[in-house]
């Protein structure tokens, strides 16, 4: 219990200091409703990649527990287009249907800067992202990409949507080999562009070296323009942050229906998963009929629980006590927990005696019995 309180206190103080920093930059904290009308998410399916929890209100309206915070922010800002809401932050939960436990609740601390794309606005949001990570751990880094960079390379190609999606997936996985297999006999794209696309998964590191590599190919005017803008942004960032803090990686290809400019991901030492994610999403405001844009990010604060637990040397985060009902499903469940950065120990229900689990330090216990996973459970 003492370790749990210590973890919660440290996390609370870290988030408090981050919020104070946002206040010092003139950002206004807002609150958002946990429920929105289902139509908000149904009409914007391209912008969310989560399963939506729905409920019927007493007056017969179909409501949804919020799966995505940015949509709620865009809706709120679009209704009140004043400067008061041009710089905002929030600390809210999202909700998502899950395969095994039923639903998942995740907390985020996020910030949004409303305004059309400019070097300074992108700098401000990246600067705050770097400073946010520094409050969590000085040994951290921001990885930058640009949605427009990828789009510009493909702009004159006549590739089918499905083929582009396959290539984007390969780029994300840094899989040049499969890209070559997909494009080998394709006549809708020039050999020069093919070679450049093969190279994208390797375009990471400092921007100067990436530019040298790009200049070996015939890049189009839009790609040159984006590269020039990124050089201006990078030059400004490096005046205030160490070179090791800012890494470019053009293999990061996020939802191009959502992002149209800078993309950012944040990492901290001794934690394998992305802890901060965001970018520029002007296209969303177009769907709300507002002539503006926005750039922002969210810190996945639930991930910090695992981070601070690791600092206190927990044996693991999750204990699963199981029977012999369905080993294949059990393995899938273990894999799902591990993908979230959690350590999982399994013990057979017959080998773990009553109260024997108390010899371990862990946070959550599950019982897998008759093919079903239940939180807690009596061993």
Pick out the residues of the known binding site for L-histidine: 68-70, 108, 112, 258-259
Rounded distance between C-alpha atoms, residue 17 and residue 132, angstroms: 9
> Is 291 within 8 Å of 360 (Cβ atoms)?
no
Rounded distance between C-alpha atoms, residue 282 and residue 24, angstroms: 26
Burial 139-168 (b: 16+ CB within 10 A, else e): ebbbbbbbbbbbbbbbeebebeeeebebbb
- Which backbone phi and psi does 121 adopt, to 5 degrees? -65, -40
* DSSP result, 8-55: HHHHHHHHHHHHHHHHHTTPEE----SEEEHHHHHTTGGG--SPPEEE
Structure tokens of 2?
């003492």
Rounded distance between C-alpha atoms, residue 149 and residue 257, angstroms: 14
- Which parts are annotated binding residues? 68-70, 108, 112, 258-259
**Closest by CA position to 44, among listed 222, 338, 283, 298:** 283
- H/E stretch holding 280 reads strand 276-280
**Closest by CA position to 133, among listed 236, 250, 20, 15:** 15
What DSSP character marks residue 139?
A: S
> Is 125 within 8 Å of 87 (Cβ atoms)?
no
Give long-range contacts, CB 8 A cutoff, 24+ apart: 277-283: 278/110, 278/125, 278/129, 279/147, 279/254, 280/117, 280/122, 280/147, 281/70, 282/116, 282/117, 283/257, 283/258, 283/259
Longest dimension (CA), the chain: 69
> Is 240 within 8 Å of 233 (Cβ atoms)?
no
């Amino acid at each position: 219990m003492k370790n749990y309180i210590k973890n919660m206190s440290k996390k609370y103080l870290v988030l408090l200091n981050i919020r104070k920093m946002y206040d010092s930059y003139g950002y206004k904290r807002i609150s958002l409703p946990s429920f929105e009308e289902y139509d908000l998410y149904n009409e914007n399916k391209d912008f969310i990649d989560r399963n939506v929890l729905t409920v019927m209100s007493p007056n017969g309206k179909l409501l949804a527990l919020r799966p995505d915070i940015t949509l709620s922010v865009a809706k709120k800002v679009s209704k009140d287009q004043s400067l008061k809401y041009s710089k905002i932050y929030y600390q809210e939960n999202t909700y998502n249907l899950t395969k095994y436990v039923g639903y998942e609740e995740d907390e985020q601390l996020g910030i949004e800067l409303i305004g059309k794309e400019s070097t300074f606005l992108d700098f401000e949001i990246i600067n705050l992202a770097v400073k946010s990570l520094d409050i969590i751990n000085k040994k951290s880094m921001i990885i930058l990409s640009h949605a427009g960079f990828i789009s510009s390379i493909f702009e004159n190609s006549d590739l089918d949507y499905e083929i582009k999606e396959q290539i984007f997936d390969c780029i994300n996985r840094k899989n040049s080999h499969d890209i070559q297999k997909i494009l080998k006999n394709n006549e809708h794209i020039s050999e020069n562009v093919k070679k450049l696309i093969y190279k994208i998964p390797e375009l990471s590191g400092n921007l100067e070296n990436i530019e040298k590599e790009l200049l070996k190919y015939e890049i189009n005017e839009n790609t040159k323009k984006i590269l020039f803008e990124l050089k201006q942004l990078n030059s400004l960032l490096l005046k205030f942050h160490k070179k090791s803090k800012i890494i470019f990686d053009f293999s990061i290809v996020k939802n191009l229906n959502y992002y149209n400019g800078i993309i950012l991901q944040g990492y901290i030492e001794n934690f394998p998963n992305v802890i901060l994610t965001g970018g520029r999403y002007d296209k969303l405001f177009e769907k709300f009929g507002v002539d503006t844009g926005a750039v922002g990010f969210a810190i996945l604060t639930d991930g910090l629980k695992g981070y601070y637990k690791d600092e206190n040397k927990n044996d693991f985060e999750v204990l699963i006590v199981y029977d012999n009902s369905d080993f294949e499903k059990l393995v899938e469940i273990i894999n799902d927990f591990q993908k979230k950065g959690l350590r999982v120990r399994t013990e057979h229900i017959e080998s773990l005696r009553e109260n024997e689990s108390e010899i371990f330090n862990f946070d959550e216990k599950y019982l897998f019995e008759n093919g079903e996973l239940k939180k807690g459970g009596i061993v």
